[in-house]
Chain A
Amino acid sequence: MADDPAVSLTGVRKTYRVGEPVHALDGVDLSLVDGSYTAVMGPSGSGKSTLMNLVGCLDAPTEGTVTVDGTDVTALSDRERTALRGDEIGFVFQTFNLMPRLTARENVALPLIFQGVDAAERGERADAMLGRMGIGDRGDHRPNELSGGQRQRVAIARALVTDPTLVLADEPTGNLDTETGARILDVFDEAHAAGNTILVVTHERHVAERADRIVHLLDGRIERIERVGRPGSAGAGGPADDEVTG
């Protein structure tokens, strides 16, 4: 994991036409190095969500190119983009977004269903991932039988189970209390240490400070990129988080 970018955006522009054209993103260049941990901050309306949708292969840019693991997303059909998303992106949402009627194990295994992985292997991989998240004994529980922190761990397990190029987290601690949130951030640290590439979108400074660098967005442009905590070396995972107790 040298410096070939896992994800890169070049001159990306996204325009919505709701009456007047609105430039949600207005010429963004950004590359996420393999194994890096990046946070995106910015006030609402700054283009955070749009950036996340583009990086997450949920949407295509109006102009410019988005490349994920060497594939130009812009040129893909909806179907190919969905397949790429399933293979290369792991999503973690603020509201967990687990399937309410499926058990924790089945939730973790869900992305593998759409990849055509057979049931036995799905179970094994899901169990292994739940174990790694420290909730190996919760596999048979439904989401409503789990605490908020446990739910988010299930969601992270689901995001990691496909061994994605990028883990994309949208306010992952937004629905959790400070203590639980800090524990979840530890999980991200561990994933980072294990070599996963992570992009966290947040408006909380202490969440963003866990990353290698913080990308500040304002009015659809990158205002500045701030290096924090760990010195550049990806995957080192040094304990530089003095603000947060974990």
Chain B
Amino acid sequence: MRLRESLRLSWRSIRGHKLRSTLTTLGVVIGIAAVITFVTLGVSLEAGILGDVDTGQTNRIYVWGSPAGEGGGPGEDAELIFTQRDVTELRNQSDVAAAYPWTPLPSESLTHGNDTVPIREGVIATGTEYVEADRVADGRRFEEGEREAVINPAAANRFEENVSVGDTVAVAVPGAGEVNATVVGVLETSEGQGPFEGFGEDPRIYLPADPYYLDLASEATDDPRYLSVVVEADDPRDVDAARDSARAYLESDASDAGDYLGGDLELTIQTGGELLEQIQDILDQVTAFVTGIAVISLVVGAIGIANIMLVSVTERTREIGVMKAVGAQNRDVLTLFLTEAVILGVIGAVGGVALGAVGGWAAAEYADLPLTYPLEWFAIAVGVGILVGVVSGLYPAWRAARTDPIDALRYE
């Protein structure tokens, strides 16, 4: 008997019991839908977070000092320990291509023309390289030593009249009055540019640390220090070497930061790749957990299919007898029932994928993440559906195949 025939006959039996077939596949639908929903959410989350930390940033190394043994996220509880001299010295270390400070500027509000909006976080003093050139949609990056700024769309669009290249904005700094900057670039998106600022779409404005931060800090102290430093390697392959040389310098007596380290403060140096791995690890754990639950659901689903197939074999004993009487081989009967179970499994899988895709979309929408579908998981799900069908159908189909036609024809 050809595969097409068994598909047709099996499909006929399934359609003959619509409600029963639907209920039978529910276990598989729920299991697969759960996995697809969570994997979609995971992948979307990954895309939302890691999409920003793309390959261009895996050559970055993030450096900060925080109280020993607390091990928080990037920049958490960081202290002001790096001097401008440290940053300059870091640039001269081997395998280091660039080094620049990253430190938020205390701020109250942002003014454009007659329009003032509050901004407490999001004014960032850093180096030119921190803003990647290809992320500037309009204009260019600021230059160090100049009174220039790069603004992101979320900040630019908060004003009644959007800020564009060439405009002047004023940042109100507590205790220091207003500082002016000429906007020279508008970014393409409003996502954070690195892990220190988080990856949400918040209003941000980027200024050169020299002069803005240095001038302001100098008014308060003789020894201005940065919160953190970003070091770049030439090539992602040199990142480990650059990290080692940065650590060697900062922990030596030659560095200013070294004065504070030892004792209570601990230097943390993380590469972009390491940050990626951390996030990935958490996502993998969540996915593994959900997959575990889904496996239970799939086992229950498989038992459901096996159960209904056994009922079906018993119900159709006479039909099996007739088929065998008119020349169906054991193999034909086995194929028929196995096909039926596999169809049920695949329907469950496809239904689960559809439901899971909707669930994933809803979850991504709710969490405000860019929806990304894990297409390979869709294929895996259908594969699992086939597997569930085969596993659950094997015994019932074998029972059907070895039915004695004489008994079967006499069966009431």
Give A residues with C-beta under 8 Å from B. Answer: 53, 56, 58-59, 78-79, 82-83, 85-87, 89, 91, 93, 97-102, 110-111, 113-116, 158, 162
Contacts and interface: CB of A to CB of B under 8 A. Distances in A.
B154 to A, nearest CB: 62
Given A113-B5, A116-B2, A101 B326 contact: no
Contact of A53 (B323, B330, B332, B406): B406
A58 B325 contact: yes
B5 A91 contact: no
Contacts of A99: 319, 322-323
25 contacts: A58-B405, A59-B406, A82-B329, A83-B327, A85-B326, A85-B327, A91-B322, A93-B322, A93-B409, A97-B321, A98-B322, A99-B323, A100-B16, A100-B319, A101-B13, A101-B15, A101-B16, A111-B326, A111-B327, A114-B1, A114-B323, A114-B326, A116-B1, A116-B2, A162-B326
Contact of B325 (A83, A85, A98, A116): A85
Interface in B298-349: 318-319, 321-330, 332
B20 interface: no
A100 B15 CA distance: 12
A24 to B, nearest CB: 12
A112 to B, nearest CB: 9
A83 B324 CA distance: 10
Contacts of A78: 330
Contact of B327 (A53, A59, A93, A114): A114
B323 A110 contact: yes
Contact of A113 (B1, B15, B330): B1
Q: 3 tightest CB-CB pairs across the interface, nearest first?
A: A86-B327, A111-B326, A114-B327
Nearest to A159: B326
Which of A78, A93, A97 has most chain B Cβ within 10 Å?
A: A97
Contacts of A58: 325, 405-406, 409
Given A82-B327, A97-B322, A99-B319, A114 B405 contact: no
A78 B406 CA distance: 13
A92 B322 CA distance: 10
Chain B, interface residues (CB within 8 Å), range = 20 to 34
A19 B321 CA distance: 26
B1 A86 contact: no
B85 interface: no
Contacts of A102: 9, 12
A102 B321 CA distance: 16
A83 B319 CA distance: 18
Contacts of A87: 327
A79 B329 contact: yes
A115 B324 CA distance: 12
Which of A79, A85, A87, A158 has most chain B Cβ within 10 Å?
A: A85
Contacts of B325: 56, 58, 85, 89, 91, 97
Contacts of A113: 1, 5, 9
Contacts of A101: 12-13, 15-16
Contacts of A91: 322, 325-326
Nearest to A168: B325
Contacts of A59: 406
Interface string B381-402: 0000000000000000000000
A97 B332 contact: no
A116 B332 CA distance: 11
A207 to B, nearest CB: 20
A84 to B, nearest CB: 9
Contacts of B329: 79, 82-83, 114
Given A97-B322, A116-B1, 18 more contacts: A56-B325, A58-B405, A83-B327, A83-B329, A85-B326, A91-B322, A97-B318, A97-B321, A97-B409, A101-B15, A101-B16, A110-B323, A113-B1, A114-B326, A114-B332, A116-B2, A162-B326, A162-B327
Contacts of B327: 82-83, 85-87, 111, 114-115, 162
Given A99-B319, A99-B322, A101-B16, A82 B328 contact: yes
A89 B326 CA distance: 8
Contacts of B405: 58
A169 B328 CA distance: 19
Contacts of B5: 113
Contacts of B9: 102, 113
A59 B409 CA distance: 13
Interface in B1-57: 1-2, 5, 9, 12-13, 15-16
A86 B326 contact: yes
Interface string B71-101: 0000000000000000000000000000000
Contact of B326 (A53, A79, A100, A110): A110
Nearest to A78: B330
Contacts of B2: 116
A68 to B, nearest CB: 13
Which of B1, B324, B405 has most chain A Cβ within 10 Å?
A: B405
A110 B5 CA distance: 10
A59 B1 CA distance: 23
